[in-house]
């Protein structure tokens, strides 16, 4: 057998590199799809002495509901935007930084929800939540 040395070597064998890439791809797919959601654990329960801490957090939290007609409800009372502003200002004097939850009905006017968000921004409330339901 005779070796041709005068011709340059212009072919690169990429088969080993592709084999390695495919193996790494399979390992990556297997590792990312592996979940631990099937594990069962007996989680500890909180003692009843922890309840006052949660009640304090609940008292700190304020929630405003916008119903389908665009009316506002806060603290189980139907209010107008100026009333809500006055109550939030009073609450802000007690708690400097408190969370505000704005619950908008799925059929409520979008502008009504935006008005409450603008009011919260005007009062410099930093923690604003807009909860949704999972489908």
Where along the chain do its domains lie?
A: 54-129
Looking at 53-62, 81-90, 92-101, which range is the least confident one? Answer: 53-62
pLDDT at position 76? 86
Give the 3-state secondary structure percentages of the chain, helix then strand then coil, rounded to 5. 45, 15, 40
Q: Provide the percentage of residues in the chain whose pLDDT is more than 70.
A: 75
pLDDT at position 89? 93
Give the chain's mean pLDDT: 82
Rounding to the nearest 10 degrees, give the CA dihedral for residues 77, 80, 86, 92. 70
State the CATH architecture for 54-129. 2-Layer Sandwich (3.30)
- The answer to whether 66 touches 103, Cβ cutoff 8 Å, is yes
pTM score, two decimals? 0.56
> How does pLDDT run across 93-112, given as a tens digit for each residue?
988 888 999 998 888 888 99
Handedness of CA 55, 59, 64, 67 (dihedral sign): positive
């Amino acid at each position: 057998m005779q070796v041709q040395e005068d011709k340059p070597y212009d072919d690169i064998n990429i088969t080993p590199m592709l084999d390695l890439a495919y193996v790494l791809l399979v390992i990556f797919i297997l590792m990312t799809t592996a979940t631990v959601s099937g594990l069962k654990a007996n989680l500890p329960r909180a003692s009843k002495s922890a309840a006052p801490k949660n009640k304090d957090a609940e008292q700190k939290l304020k929630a405003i509901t916008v119903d389908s007609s665009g009316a506002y409800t806060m603290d189980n009372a139907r209010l107008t935007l100026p009333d809500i502003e006055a109550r939030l200002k009073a609450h802000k004097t007690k708690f400097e930084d408190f969370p505000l939850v704005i619950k908008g009905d799925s059929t409520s006017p979008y502008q009504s929800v935006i008005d409450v968000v603008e009011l919260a921004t005007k009062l410099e409330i930093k923690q604003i939540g807009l909860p949704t339901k999972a489908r």
